[in-house]
Structure 1
Amino acid sequence: MTQSDKQPEKTWTIEDAERVYGVSSWGGGYFEIGENGNIHVIPEPRMNDVRIDMKAVIDEIREENIQFPVVVRFHDVLRSQVITLNETFREIISEASYQGKYRGVYPIKVNQMREVVEEIVDAGQPYDYGLEAGSKPELLAVLAMNTNLNALTILNGYKDEEFLKLALLGRKLGRKVVVVIEKFSELTMLIKVSKQLDIAPIIGLRAKMQSKGQGRWQGSSGERAKFGLNVSEIIKAARLLEKEGMSDTLKLLHFHIGSQLPEIRAIKDAVNESARIYAELVKMGFALEYVDVGGGLGIDYDGSKSTADSSRNYSVREYVADVVYGMREVCDLEGVPHPNIVTESGRAITAHHSCVITEVVGEIKPDGAQIDTAAGEDDHILLKNMRDLADHLSGELNFQEVYNDATQYKEQASDAFKLRVIGLEELGKIETLYWQIMRKVKHFYRNADFVPEEVQSLDFSLSSQYLCNFSIFQSAVDSWAIDQILPVVPITNLHTPPVNDGSLVDITCDSDGKIDKFVIEHAIDHVLPMPAFSKDEPFYLGLFLTGAYQDVMGDMHNLFGRLNEVHIFSYDDDPQDFYIEEFVKGSSVEHVLSVMQYHPSSMAIDIKKYIDKEVAAGNIKPREGVKWTDFYEHCLAGYTYLNTES
């Protein structure tokens, strides 16, 4: 039952809205429900005097004639996450009297957008915060972006000779570029290339850990991991470097046990194992300086603070403390220097800074159009029975029995229609009466202590599907591909009680283009409680925590392409506490067609020829032909998504 069904008499408060939507639980301190019922953004929780009303952001976007859907980026949130991670490591390192430093890197695969990487590099400058690349194109971008000579550039992924030469170019430019060896043959190739060019590399070895991660990506770790060297290969690699007179180039030990780790114990186990490997290599005579604990720092998508795949049972501070103290403990026991600690946190840095704002453009009700169900002389007995059931509903009845009878009549009517016993109009009347009965059954049980299991399903069966102007496959691909939970919340009117339940469907022609899993009251529900809104006023929903992967993994399904983007910066002196710093135009129709090897200019010429032919034949008037030609070209240049303002 929806919240409105359970407690219709209770005065609805902001606290009720918070309990239902859990904004502060998954918001990481950056999002809350304001007293006016709108979602507010706190760009820097440590200085929470600045609050941005997202309704004001939407209003300004509309004033600027920017079409929805849009990606909204809060750059201050991005900076805040970089600062928080680095400051936390500094505090814990000082508290623990740890002798090494923190030298984190941001893996750009999580979000390679130039504006995102630039902001991270700038915010990380005082901390010598670096970048990680896992492919040749990413390396080309990172070499241009990561100009801090004290910051690390970590290179993961499989490598060819060209990739290695680019890495050595970075060394020639004075950068701390670390080539992480993923398979043994890469090391022999790197030794050859570095000697040919007479450039000393910085080498890291990636270990296949016995420790395994937990959660959705646990299969990426362990002995069957795609990347890395087992213990014997690590020893063989170290001895080869020794033989080649390159022992001093081995500086880093790397491991990775999975993304979005929900359980802190997995991190503790991996740190302990990696520290032991590091200590043994140091005792073998290799002066390693860094241990890279990889990625895995999760975020709490569902706000449950649990070991569920979409959550985590630890804080950032607890994560950092376990890494620092765990490394210190083993190193002290083994009598080796404390290494500099590297992490490759991407999801935790970027997820909160970006959200997708989409407009609800339609409602698909389960009971469809209501038709006249007045009695007729020749009504079939099934229709009479259903009408009699609908006309005599009262609190004295057994509503479980009513539910059962109505369901049976509807099933019998469907069979009767297939056998040509009743006609289409009678079937339509029976369906109309059935849905009327089901709504009354649901209403009856709204305050009941016990609700039969089959009646509980009416919440979903009677819920609407809200048609939203966006593509799941472009903007929330993980929700479709791996059932990732992304918080979805109405932007406004949360100070009013929910009046209906619904799931979301997008504007693609694919039946999978839907979201029907939501974080409601710290649990996963199949319907989203919706506050009242007028069909005469635009109503917007926000898909939050989309800054990690969703921005860059979307596909071209139905040729919808990239969304319009607005970049928001906080500004305390502004009446609204923000300004739009940049608008990045999304994909035009001609752009997505060009990507798929169409030629829009030729298409426009061809259409004009066809129109001119019809004009010459007298089927289209000349002035009308010009308008149709202009309209076709206008559509080619336009946004790929629905224009709700027209």
Structure 2
Amino acid sequence: MPASQKSDWSAQKSAEYYGLPRWGQGHFTADDTGCLCVRPLGEDGPSIRLADVLAEAEAEYGLRPPLTIRVQDLLRRRVEMLNEAFHRAIEEEGYAGHYRGVFPIKVNQLREVVEEILDAGRDYDFGLEAGSKPELLIALSQLDRKGDILVCNGYKDEAYIRAALLGIRLGREVILVIEQFSEVDAIIKVSREMGVEPKIGFRVKLSIAGEGKWATSSGDNAKFGLTSTEIVAAAKKLKRAKLGQCVKLVHFHIGSQVPNILTIKKAVREAARFYCEIRKMGFNLKYLDVGGGLGIDYDGSRTNFESSMNYSMPEYARDVVFNIKSVCEQADVPVPDIISESGRALVAPHSVLVVEAVDRIVKIPEVEKAKSGGKKQPLLADLQYILDNKDGHGALERFHDAQQKKDEAANLFSLGYLDLPTRAKADTMYWQICADIYAKLKQDGYIPEELENLGALLAEQYVCNFSVFQSLLDHWALDQLFPIAPLQRLNEEPTIEATLVDITCDSDGKVSEFVDLEDVRHSLRLHPLGKKPYYLGFFLVGAYQDIMGDLHNLFGRVNEIHVFLEDDEEDGFYIEETIKGFSTDEVLDFIQYKGADLTRAMKKQIDTATRADVVKPREGVRLLQLYTDMLKQKTYLSPASKPAKKAAKK
């Protein structure tokens, strides 16, 4: 753009382009200075500029991206929103039962997250769900009040059952959910040995098929749950063992991130029928656990697309309450207390992964203009003719002609009839033709189907200092979409179509699909890289990503900071806790390499080189120090740049 031409771009246009008003649900916005802000309490509450958080993290604690920002007040607000939604629905429907939510620890087992959820949910009698022995031990230690509810799912051996019964002895409402028929005998045996009366639930295998990426969580081929035949058999066994009075709960789960509310309604009604029928069999049930499934609208489209949801949290609560009440009234059975295991909906929004774009890979490099005069290579002359397009040929014809010449250049080069500089010019001119074609198509507003992927092919690649496999595993493994946006410069128009690649040595370490209102984008418009650090935020990453990341290429856990609102602070926040990412030494320890052993091995090699006069003694000392220093450093890149300054407030 010429210097004299002033852009009418604004921060609000950036907010619309990156989808902040849609997927942000009032929690994320852009201010007039072009900074991305988080509003933990919603659109009417105070805001925090994420750029200011980064600046303080570096200036005060020496922590730089890749870095996870946990907005703890937003986490607390999500707990409140869920409980308030169910309480309003119960009041509006005149429902005689209560709501007792639990947080499934598997969604994010980090201590700071679990503690914050329990603290925020204390007034609502919010509990926990465990799916393994380690998770059960966490839950038992964290639930410290009589009557605290703990739902025990997953495969259970006798040790698991003993730990659960320990919780019952301490006065907790611990419910062992039978998910496999073989668990019935184990619970009977261990409860007799310990002399503790268990509290038991049945997980039912619904006929309703799930929907979305986790659709197989329900249906006939589901991994967990009892069939109707097994429920009848289990009920008889428990009655014979004089434990019929211990059956307290019916449970179902139709998968995480259910996008369609109709699927939830059908599942709730079927599960409510199981509840009514089991009560009629003489069991004094107290709870109906509707499991997880409450989604997150990752793309903001409010549709039944797998990365979205066509309902809101209040709608979800109303539909659950209404349908349970309706079925119970029809069967003339008292309504149960409702339990839900909503994990993703609670924790996903509170976490932001921040990475720095440190380099770019371009398709069309700047090349020197050919000197005038002399005979041009025929192939290059043909490409120049296609590029100039003086005859006004259509997009498809130009593209096909250019593709033919590109293939011809590759063949001539392979046969030795084309030198490398000419091949390079041919490739560059091909991409210039493609860029010209795509620009004109966008201007016209119609792109032929054959050329729909042209924009993605032309996109630059921004190299970002992080690992997809460590911090965005669901994107790689399940094609999960996460909203992405720059943290600064939102008042400048983004002009570069780009995809993102990480620093692992793996071709799959990339992000090439992005959220969009109507479809999936295959590139994202970003700003040109300059001298100042360019930070990108990956949003709604608080569910599963923290705990499921792997150590591909030995990139470990990133730095982490916990942020709280604070009116008395100049910037409206304070950093309550910091957690340093793994050092190289710590990561190597996971795979049985001890830093001290590695250092001794290197010292032995350096001593040998010194005795052979390959290196001088002082140089050998410096080389060993370099090696030991690298063991202490973080596993990610350490770009040399000055600390970021806090943005000026308006």
Report matched runs for 1:83-162 at 5 Å. Answer: 83-162=80-159
Give a deviation string over 1:479-537, Cα, whole Å, max 9, x none.
11010111111111122212110000000000000000011344311000113442x10
TM superposition shift of 1:231: 1.0
| Distance of aligned partners of 1:149 and 1:376 in 2 relative to their CA distance in 1, 3 Å threshold | farther
Please name the residue that 2:622 is paired with.
627
Contact 2:290 2:341 in 1 (8 A): yes
Matched, 1:460 2:430: no
TM-score, L = length of structure 2: 0.94
Give the Cα separation in 1 of the matches to 2:215 and 2:385.
57
Determine helix, strand or coil for the equivalent of 2:495: strand
Report matched runs for 1:33-52 at 5 Å. Answer: 33-45=30-42, 48-52=44-48
Contact 1:302 1:523 in 2 (8 A): no
Give the Cα separation in 1 of the matches to 2:9 and 2:189.
71
Contact 1:492 1:540 in 2 (8 A): yes
Matched, 1:278 2:282: no
Contact 2:168 2:174 in 1 (8 A): yes
Contact 1:494 1:531 in 2 (8 A): no
Please name the residue that 1:578 is paired with.
573
Please name the residue that 2:550 is paired with.
555
Please name the residue that 1:181 is paired with.
178
TM superposition shift of 1:451: 3.8
Determine helix, strand or coil for the equivalent of 2:186: helix
Determine helix, strand or coil for the equivalent of 1:523: coil
Give a deviation string over 1:89-123, Cα, whole Å, max 9, x none.
11111121111110110000000001000101111
Give the Cα separation in 2 of the matches to 1:275 and 1:404.
60
Give the Cα separation in 2 of the matches to 1:357 and 1:587.
16
TM superposition shift of 1:274: 1.3
Contact 2:147 2:171 in 1 (8 A): no
Please name the residue that 1:540 is paired with.
535
Give the Cα separation in 2 of the matches to 1:269 and 1:433.
57
Please name the residue that 2:524 is paired with.
528
Report matched runs for 1:208-247 at 5 Å. Answer: 208-247=205-244
Q: Match for 1:578: what amino acid?
A: F
Give the Cα separation in 2 of the matches to 1:484 and 1:538.
27
Please name the residue that 1:361 is paired with.
358
Contact 2:299 2:517 in 1 (8 A): no
Give the Cα separation in 2 of the matches to 1:24 and 1:512.
30
Find the partner of 2:58 among 39, 54, 62: 62
Please name the residue that 1:594 is paired with.
589
Determine helix, strand or coil for the equivalent of 2:582: coil
TM superposition shift of 1:387: 3.6
Matched, 1:433 2:429: yes
TM superposition shift of 1:455: 4.7
Give the Cα separation in 2 of the matches to 1:269 and 1:520.
29
Fraction of identical pairs, as percent: 44
Give the Cα separation in 2 of the matches to 1:67 and 1:560.
15
Matched, 1:301 2:298: yes
| Distance of aligned partners of 1:362 and 1:323 in 2 relative to their CA distance in 1, 3 Å threshold | same
TM superposition shift of 1:446: 4.1
Please name the residue that 1:478 is paired with.
474
Contact 1:32 1:40 in 2 (8 A): yes
| Distance of aligned partners of 1:451 and 1:255 in 2 relative to their CA distance in 1, 3 Å threshold | closer
Q: Match for 2:436: what amino acid?
A: K
Moved more, 53-62 or 452-461: 452-461
Determine helix, strand or coil for the equivalent of 2:315: helix
Give the Cα separation in 1 of the matches to 2:207 and 2:401.
59
Find the partner of 1:501 among 497, 503, 513: 497
Q: Which runs of 5+ in 1 are unaligned?
A: none
Give the Cα separation in 2 of the matches to 1:369 and 1:109.
50
TM superposition shift of 1:325: 1.0
Determine helix, strand or coil for the equivalent of 2:520: strand
TM superposition shift of 1:566: 0.7
TM superposition shift of 1:614: 2.0
TM superposition shift of 1:165: 0.6
TM superposition shift of 1:605: 1.2
Give a deviation string over 1:294-347, Cα, whole Å, max 9, x none.
110011011111011111000000100011111111111222111100000000
Give the Cα separation in 1 of the matches to 2:125 and 2:32.
40
Report matched runs for 1:335-354 at 5 Å. Answer: 335-354=332-351
TM superposition shift of 1:14: 3.4
Give the Cα separation in 2 of the matches to 1:224 and 1:398.
52
Give the Cα separation in 2 of the matches to 1:265 and 1:9.
49
| Distance of aligned partners of 1:9 and 1:452 in 2 relative to their CA distance in 1, 3 Å threshold | farther
Give a deviation string over 1:44-84, Cα, whole Å, max 9, x none.
117x3310011111211221321320011111111111111
TM superposition shift of 1:359: 0.1
TM superposition shift of 1:376: 7.8
Determine helix, strand or coil for the equivalent of 1:71: strand
Please name the residue that 2:201 is paired with.
204
Contact 1:304 1:523 in 2 (8 A): no
CA RMSD after TM alignment: 1.9
TM superposition shift of 1:466: 0.3
Determine helix, strand or coil for the equivalent of 1:519: coil
Give the Cα separation in 2 of the matches to 1:526 and 1:442.
14
Q: Match for 2:413: what amino acid?
A: F
Give the Cα separation in 2 of the matches to 1:452 and 1:300.
30
Q: Which runs of 5+ in 2 are unaligned?
A: 642-650
TM superposition shift of 1:409: 1.6
Report matched runs for 1:8-47 at 5 Å. Answer: 11-45=8-42
Give the Cα separation in 1 of the matches to 2:239 and 2:431.
78
TM superposition shift of 1:448: 1.6
Contact 2:298 2:308 in 1 (8 A): yes
Determine helix, strand or coil for the equivalent of 1:642: coil
| Distance of aligned partners of 1:219 and 1:398 in 2 relative to their CA distance in 1, 3 Å threshold | closer
Moved more, 545-554 or 14-23: 14-23
When the two structures are aligned, how many residues end up with a matched partner? 637
Contact 2:105 2:114 in 1 (8 A): yes
Contact 1:21 1:521 in 2 (8 A): no
Determine helix, strand or coil for the equivalent of 1:520: coil
